[in-house]
Amino acid sequence: MPELPEVETTRRGLEALITDKEIISVHVYIKKLRWEIPTHLQRSLKNQTIIKISRRGKYLLIEFKHGKLVMHLGMSGSISVVPSYEPIKKHEHFELKFNNSTSLRFNDPRRFGSILWQENGEQLKVLRNLGPEPLSYEFDNNSLYNSSIGKSKNIKTFIMDSSIVVGVGNIYASESLFLAGISPKRIAGKTSKNRYKILTKSIKKILTDAINNAGTTLNDFSDVDGNPGYFSQVLSVYNREDMPCIRCNGKIKRIIQSQRATYYCPLCQH
């Protein structure tokens, strides 16, 4: 599943390609994704100009004068900008055609992604209860500790909860905990404030490094130009089961937590 760095990489790529572009037509080839694509988009977006594109957690928000197109890549989704004359490919379910003969196309083989509409003055349910952005000032040294009080879940599941902090997906949760030297099995509510301060710094570093390296190539991620991400080349623990720890003489272990694979070093993560 594309995580925050992959979505941010997509946002940055799209920003240069679609901002200030006028839409001449909207095409829905498969309307049923995770939810049905609103039918009014073919009418309401025609002749509208894109003002800007932003991100909230793993959601992309394409802003117009009268509202926002809210897009989620789901498990296998991707967005590309191509010449409009290119034939529609398999799994390309949605297209915005622009006045410069290019098109934004949404590709999603597994159809777990979503394309929604948010009117000005409203907030969609999927955005309503999201926690702070991990690279914002709002996510400070007290955020995780204050949210952890009384929590009995393990710390990896805790930091992956989007109501606590957005965008710390499975890969980056394992990597952040390794950098912080914290066991993923540690109970969230029994972790000290100082350790959360270290973990907060680690999350910010891991996500910043991943964004700077255009995300990860795991799960076939590529950016809007089709280029792969490179962060997987420097992953410390994820997908490295039974390999030597880069920090000590330990061996990387794989366990399952909340139905997700977790990778960690039992010797140097406590």
Which residues participate in catalysis according to the annotation? 2-3, 58, 260
**59 touches 72 (CB < 8 A):** yes
CA triple 8-141-246, angle to 5 deg: 70
Cβ neighbours around 230 below 10 Å, total = 14
Selection from 116, 33, 31, 108 nearest residue 76 by Cα: 108
Q: Which residues contact 248 (CB under 8 A, 6 or more apart)?
A: 265, 267, 268
Cβ neighbours around 204 below 10 Å, total = 15
Helix 193-212 and helix 170-180, axial crossing angle in degrees, nearest 10: 130
The single-letter DSSP state of residue 268 is: T
Dig out the tokens for 48 from the structure.
């509208």
d(CA 201, CA 206): 9
d(CA 64, CA 267): 52
d(CA 71, CA 58): 9
Specify the residue for token string 């950016």: 223
